Amino acid sequence: MQYEHTRVEEEIQTVIREQFEEPLRQMLSEYLAAVLQQEVTEYLQAANVALSTTDRQLAVRNGLGRQRRVATALGVVDVRQPRVSDRREGHRFTSSILPPYLRRTPELETSIAALYLLGISSNQMAEAVGQMLGGSVALSPATVSGILEKHSRDLMQWQSRSLAEKQYVYWWCDGIYTPVRLSDDRPCLLVIVGVLPDGTKELVAVHQGVRESKQSWLECLREMRARGLDHEPKLVIGDGALGLWSALRETMPQPQQQRCTVHKTANVLNTLPKKLHAVVKGHLHRIFDAPDKAEAQQQLQNFRKVYEDAYPKAWACLAKDQEELLRFYDYPALHWKSLRSTNVIESAFSTIRHRTRQSKGAGTAERAVAMVVALGRRAEKHWRRIDGVDKLKDVLEGNFKHPPLPANKS
């Protein structure tokens, strides 16, 4: 039976490799060839705007270079880069898409950061990545260590950047846990993501803390103040951890608070028998997905009528933060889906989020922060701008007024 299971698994992997991985690698190889040719075409056009006195072109194509093997997240692809002969003194064509010594794409280096946070050693990492790439790649343990050190150097530069010119409209705050055994305590990495006035989302801070304590959040917020952060966000979204809110009251008392509805839903469900989870989740969705605040408040009271007597702990959990849970309704409707939860952090760090089973090998706190920042900055490039960008200026200036709410329903 075990043999049959292994054989079927191997056949599935073969089908996936043949039907998906190989075509995707071929497409990537063809795409790289096309964009490299386009890059050369644009270079030649710019170089030959002014022709020489003999009307000879100053820069021309000169065939293709030797075949190179480049490791990507999809595997190893073979590329031949176009060559250019440039007759202008002091000019030489260098591809910005495929630099001369590039052997690994940034996506692959980010994958190594994620593997580190999963507690995988450099030796295991080199072997695992080599197998993933499906080809012969010079990815030794020393190479992996070099990539990790590069992330650490990048962290130092990122953590020392000035925040004096920054102004954030919204913040999402949460703590993430890594399985790398950093100490005997239960360390977590405090993460802040912000929205700028142009609607773009940005990784603001990653700070090593112990649990999600007030002291750890205070250190994080004070450190940002020391780097010039003068403008406080208008709204901060986070879970019910008391440390964050206590620290904010001491360092940044002006922002309003929004509790994460996803965390609250999980907390309420934890007080109930599993057989009720689906029904109760539907009740909670009617609160948090209501068309306006008045309807949400009505649905909240409906929940109370149904569950308060039979399941007092569920109602107490929900009622505890009801004002902060519905705070997002005071902001532009186009922002609601973004302000209801800390999902932007959850999704960006889903590979390591709340993994409590720690690895045997000890890591370092500084390197763990560096890997999280590397992952976050890579994810940052793919974050969508918040909807309703034109409303952000009004929120910043305090000019936004929500449409009048309808009269309470009986």
The pLDDT score that the predictor gives to residue 231 is 92
**What's residue 106's pLDDT?**
56
pLDDT of 355 reads: 46
Name, in order, each residue with C-beta under 8 angstroms of 149's C-beta and a sequence gap of 6 or more.
Answer: none
3-state SS, one letter per residue, for 301-348: HHHHHHHCCCCHHHHHHHHHCHHHHCHHHHCCHHHHHHHCCCHHHHHH
For residue 345, CA distances in Å to 23, 171, 304, 362 come to 32, 11, 31, 25
pLDDT, one tens digit per residue, over 277-308 is 999 999 999 999 999 999 999 999 999 999 99
In the structure encoding, which two tokens stand for residue 106, read together? Answer: 């940034």
Residue with tokens 């007092």: 312
pLDDT band at 275 (very low <50, low <70, confident <90, very high): very high
Candidates 142, 154, 156, 147; CA nearest to 113 is 147
pLDDT category, 326, cuts 50, 70, 90? very high
Residue-wise pLDDT for 143-182, tens only, equals 667 777 888 888 899 999 999 999 999 999 998 877 655 5
Instruction: Please report where in the chains the tokens 């100490």 appear, as a residue.
Output: 183
| Cβ 145 vs Cβ 113: under 8 Å | no
Helix and strand element counts for the chain (H, E): 16, 7
Of 215, 202, 265, the C-alpha closest to 239 is 265
Q: Render pLDDT for 334-351 as a digit per residue (tens, 0 to 9).
A: 999 999 999 989 888 775
Is residue 191 within 8 Å of 176, Cβ to Cβ?
yes
Q: Is residue 187 very low, low, confident or very high in pLDDT (cuts 50, 70, 90)?
A: low
- pLDDT surpasses 70 at 16: no
In 3D, which of 204, 206, 322, 314 has the Cα closest to residue 257? 322
Backbone φ and ψ of 86, nearest 5°: -115, 115
In sequence order, the β-bridge partners of residue 78 are 69
Residue 352 and residue 117 in contact, taking contact as beta carbons nearer than 8 Å: yes
Any idea how long the chain is? 410
Strand arrangement of the beta sheet that strand 187-195 belongs to: 201-210, 187-195, 170-176, 235-238, 256-259
Q: Give residue 181's pLDDT.
A: 54
Tell me, what DSSP letter sits at residue 391? G
Q: Which amino acid is at 290?
A: A
**E strands, 163-278, in order:** 170-176, 187-195, 201-210, 235-238, 256-259
Task: Give, for 222, the enclosing helix (H) or strand (E).
Answer: helix 214-226
* pLDDT the model gives residue 18: 47
CA distance 287 to 272: 18
**Residue pLDDT, tens place only, 94-129:** 776 666 655 555 555 666 666 666 555 666 666 655
**What phi, psi does 340 have (nearest 5°)?**
-70, -25
Residues β-bridged to residue 190 = 175, 207
110 vs 242, higher pLDDT = 242
Distance of CA 215 to the CA centre of its chain: 25
- Which has the closest alpha carbon to 293: 246, 324, 327, 257? 327
Residues 6+ away with beta carbon under 8 Å from 167? 196, 197, 231, 396
CA-CA distance, 370 to 205, in Å (whole number)? 11
The confidence band for 11, taking pLDDT boundaries of 50, 70 and 90, is: low
Of residues 12 and 196, more confidence is placed in 196
| Count of CA atoms in the C-beta half-sphere (13 A) of 146 | 8
